Amino acid sequence: MKVFDLHCDTIGECFKQGKSLLTNDMHFSLDRARLYDEYNQVFAIWITDDLRGKAAVDYFDKVADLYYNTLQEHSDVISEYSSKSDTPVKSILAVEGASACGGTADGIYHLYDRGVRLVTLTWNDNNEIAAGAFAHGGMTDFGKRFVVVARELGIVLDVSHLNRQSFKELTEIYSLPFIASHSNADIVDNYYGHKRNLEDWQIEIIRDRGGLIGLNFCSDFIDNPSHPGAESVADQIRYLSAMGCDDVIALGSDFDGCNMHEDMRGVEKMQSLYNKLLEAEIDENLLNKVFYQNAKRFFDKYLK
């Protein structure tokens, strides 16, 4: 089985908890991911909303150091996605919260030089770039400059956590495809889901531009009380497929960043989740797109 997951917070949790990415008791570890035929993982360094300026840059650098030390120490298991190394796990470095650039143009280049190839523009609050899902406002002047530089460098933009206004303003200044790495369709009836999930007009823009929507396993964003677990994932796939998104749907687990139903709680559950979705009568060809092919095609085209 081949898997491509657009978002996990595991490397930051390893840093905070002093645990190894190779073997741990968290949602993701290399020793479990390596059991698949191929596992591609985007590792996001989450910048909390209390970190800004130099503090945000310093924290990013410390976690990035752990990430690269891990790649070096376990080079037989994991390598960067762009490398030619034949390892069972391939990785892409991301940041969740563009405040990791410290609010400076030089900081954008620093992120790129350190290997960041995907940027989630905000977390939940306002930062130097834009307004997050639980904040008011839109893109800042610096945020508009950030987008231009990111485009020139080839950094993939991620709109998960943007509020509606920021999302709309981004589409007005940015014409390339972008992704929502860990967001769902807004069909879950709770406060957090409505704040974080995508409305139909947002889904249509991502679809029409050839982007990706990675399904987030967070219970607050996906679980339907009458259809929890794998069936809630099936609900999302059916809804997005009906909107013409068969080539857009991907996985964005949010491993080690949230609580989730036991059906999806851990990298070792990906095969059983796939099987449960087959039992829920999700077409096998579509599932192969969701679990691997759509993300693989996108990153092979746009990742520099």
**Domains parsed from the chain with CATH numbers:** 2-302 (3.20.20.140)
Residue 107: pLDDT above 90? yes
pLDDT band for position 227 (cuts 50, 70, 90): confident
pLDDT band for position 34 (cuts 50, 70, 90): very high
* Segment 225-242 mean pLDDT: 95
Q: Parallel, antiparallel, or unpaired for β 89-96 and 78-80?
A: parallel
- Count other Cβ atoms within 10 Å, centred on residue 18: 6
The token pair that represents 77 in the structure block: 């298991």
pTM assigned to the model:
0.98
Compute the mean pLDDT over every residue in the chain, rounded to the nearest whole number: 97
Please say whether the beta carbons of 130 and 138 come within 8 A: yes
Please say whether the beta carbons of 184 and 222 come within 8 A: yes
Q: Which of 184, 256, 271, 255 is nearest to 223 (CA)?
A: 184
List phi, psi (to 5°) of 237.
-65, -45
Estimate the share of the chain in helix, then strand, then coil, as percent rounded to the nearest 5.
45, 15, 40
List phi, psi (to 5°) of 89.
-120, 130
* Segment 18-38 mean pLDDT: 98
List phi, psi (to 5°) of 86.
-95, 80
* pLDDT, tens digit (0-9, with 9 covering 90-100), for 53-98: 999 999 999 999 999 999 999 999 999 999 999 999 999 999 999 9
